[in-house]
A = this chain, B = another copy of it.
Amino acid sequence: MPRSGDVVPDATVERLPLYHQALVELARTGETTVSSVKLAELAGVNAAKVRKDLSFLGSYGTRGVGYDVDFLTIQVSRTLGLTGDSSVVIVGFGNLGQALAKYGGFADRGFPVVAIVDADPTKVGTAVKETDGVVVQHVDELAKIVRSQGVAVGVIATPAESAQSAADALVGAGVQSILSFAPVVLDIPETIPWRKVDLATELQILSFYQARSGSLQHPA
Q: Which residues of A contact B (CB under 8 A)?
A: 8, 10, 13-14, 16-18, 20-21, 41-44, 79-82, 86, 88, 95-96, 98-100, 102-106, 108-111, 130, 152-153, 176-179, 183, 185, 190-191, 193-195, 197-214, 217-219
Residue of B nearest to A107 (CB): B200
Contact in complex: B191, A214 (CB < 8 Å): yes
**How often does this chain occur in the complex, in copies?**
2
Separation of A187 and B80 alpha carbons in the complex (Å): 27
Residue of B nearest to A79 (CB): B208
Separation of A16 and B206 alpha carbons in the complex (Å): 12
Q: A21-B201, A79-B208, A81-B208 are in contact. List 17 more A-B contacts (CB 8 A).
A: A13-B208, A44-B185, A80-B208, A80-B211, A95-B130, A105-B183, A176-B210, A178-B206, A179-B199, A179-B206, A190-B217, A191-B214, A193-B218, A194-B206, A194-B218, A195-B205, A197-B197
Closest 4 CB pairs of A and B: A99-B99, A81-B211, A44-B185, A193-B209
Q: How far is the CB of A78 from chain B (nearest CB, A)?
A: 9
Q: How far is the CB of A95 from chain B (nearest CB, A)?
A: 4
Residues of B within 8 A of A105 (CB): 96, 183, 199-200
Q: How far is the CB of A189 from chain B (nearest CB, A)?
A: 9
Identify which of B17, B43, B202 contacts A195 (C-beta below 8 A). B202
Separation of A102 and B199 alpha carbons in the complex (Å): 13
Q: Give me 26 A-to-B residue pairs in the complex whose CB atoms sit less than 8 angstroms apart, sorted by A's number.
A: A16-B205, A17-B198, A17-B200, A43-B185, A44-B185, A82-B207, A86-B207, A95-B99, A95-B130, A96-B105, A99-B99, A99-B100, A106-B200, A108-B200, A110-B200, A111-B200, A152-B210, A177-B210, A190-B214, A191-B214, A193-B209, A193-B210, A193-B213, A193-B218, A194-B218, A197-B202
Q: How far is the CB of A168 from chain B (nearest CB, A)?
A: 17
Separation of A183 and B105 alpha carbons in the complex (Å): 10
Separation of A178 and B207 alpha carbons in the complex (Å): 10
Known: A103-B99, A206-B179, A207-B80. A199 touches B197 (CB 8 A): yes
